[in-house]
Structure 1
Amino acid sequence: MDTAGKSSDVSYSDYAAYVPIYKNGNSVQAIKKDGQTSFINHSIKSLLKIFLRQSSIDIRAFKQNYSVTMGRKNIIPVPLSIDTILIPVKVRKPLSVNDGSYAYLNLSSIKNVSGDKRSAIELTGGTVINSMESVITIKHRMKMGGAVSEKFAMHMLQSKEIRTGFAEISSESCKSATKEDIALLIYKIIELEKKLDREIFNKF
């Protein structure tokens, strides 16, 4: 069911895609991993800025480093967390230059890409996103997203902070766990994920 919503109602880890649309102005159709949709009263550009603030990732530093290592400055994957790498896909000709022409699809939610000069992208929940770009372009961008994901994993394994965090969790798990112990472990895992977002991506 389509429902109106705010950006504060959206947890980007639950969603497969964000598509710019003209509905009550310039807004975004947010598509969940199970195919359910909602509408957000923000432009796609504003929504991305909100998500980047929530993830605590220094996107400018990331883009600068990425442009050096990958030889690309614009239209690049946007990392939000270890399992949320957003792939830009052109879906419309905007009425205004600031409206945004790109949808952003979670790499892990892309099931299949078909077509030729224009492409159809099937998501895991069954939704199909029609793009103005070729299959070759979309697959190349997905490959770029995979490179971002691999770089994240490499830094995660090499990070002193992460190794220390896992050692603490492992030590705690050897004890007889109470509800309080389990709650503490969950808290540490959440804090560990936040540390991944802040410390690792900012090193790119």
Structure 2
Amino acid sequence: MDIGEYLEEELMAFIPVYLNMKGNCTAIYTYKGGEKYLEQSLRSFLNCLGRYFLMDLKESRKYYGDLLNINKLVPIPFNEENIFIPIKTRKPISRNDGALGYVNIKYIEKIEERVNGVDIFLSSNYKIRSLNSLKTVEKHINNGEIIKKFYNKKEKGIYEDIVFYDEYNKPATKGDIALLRQELLKIKETLE
């Protein structure tokens, strides 16, 4: 299955897991397709998502990290519907193991504090266990919401610029030139 199919099934979360006889793998949670396991690391899956969306993950983290004034654990907005927040889901066994999973803020139903972390309840009755505190998870969700608002404004601003240039990227008529001439003469009079 390719990345596009996971997105069509509405990707809710992906977290690192250890599977017997396979090692470091990724658990995928989709709204329509349920839970699946990939025999590739979370980092590899995340890079595939970045390539699918034609996105430089390093630059995205830098840009949105500067916006939020943080340099680690930055939410990743692939588009306005797929904004993923980092959540610590396990303790790494070895040096290169990742502990972070990513949850799409769109599918978070509620969060509940438990003894050693937080349960994040997703649509379709899935639960992700986080080792983060309730305060930390709430902070990540808030950061994701801030990025979502900023992302929507940024995309809207680009669209408005395109409409502006489309409207004014037409040949000038004699009437346009006459109006321009009148404005220039008025400016000249005020300067003299």
For normalisation by structure 1, the TM-score amounts to: 0.72
Of the candidates 42, 45, 50, which is equivalent to residue 44 of structure 1? 42
What amino acid is the match of 1:20?
P
Distance 1:34 1:11, change over 3 A: closer
Q: Residue 34 of structure 1: CA displacement?
A: 4.2
Runs of at least 4 residues of structure 1 off by over 2 A?
5-13, 58-69, 160-164
Q: Residue 13 of structure 1: CA displacement?
A: 6.6
| Bigger Rg, structure 1 or 2 | 2
In the aligned structure 2, how far is the partner of 1:51 from the partner of 1:12? 13
Q: How many pairs align? A: 163
What amino acid is the match of 2:56?
D
- Is 1:22 matched up with 2:21? no
Q: Is 2:9–2:32's contact at 8 Å kept on the other side of the alignment?
A: no
- Within a 5 Å distance, the mapping from 1:32-181 to structure 2 comes to 32-34=30-32, 36-115=34-113, 118-160=117-159, 163-164=162-163
For structure 2, the 5+ residue unaligned runs are 167-192
For structure 1, the 5+ residue unaligned runs are 168-204
Report % sequence identity.
Answer: 22
Partner SS, residue 144 of structure 1: helix
Q: Is 2:9–2:31's contact at 8 Å kept on the other side of the alignment?
A: no
Q: Deviations over 1:154-186 (max 9, x none)?
A: 01111147754xx9xxxxxxxxxxxxxxxxxxx
Q: Residue 6 of structure 1: CA displacement?
A: 6.1
Partner SS, residue 48 of structure 1: helix
In the aligned structure 2, how far is the partner of 1:27 from the partner of 1:12? 21
For normalisation by structure 2, the TM-score amounts to: 0.76
Higher relative contact order (CA 8 A, sep 6+): 1
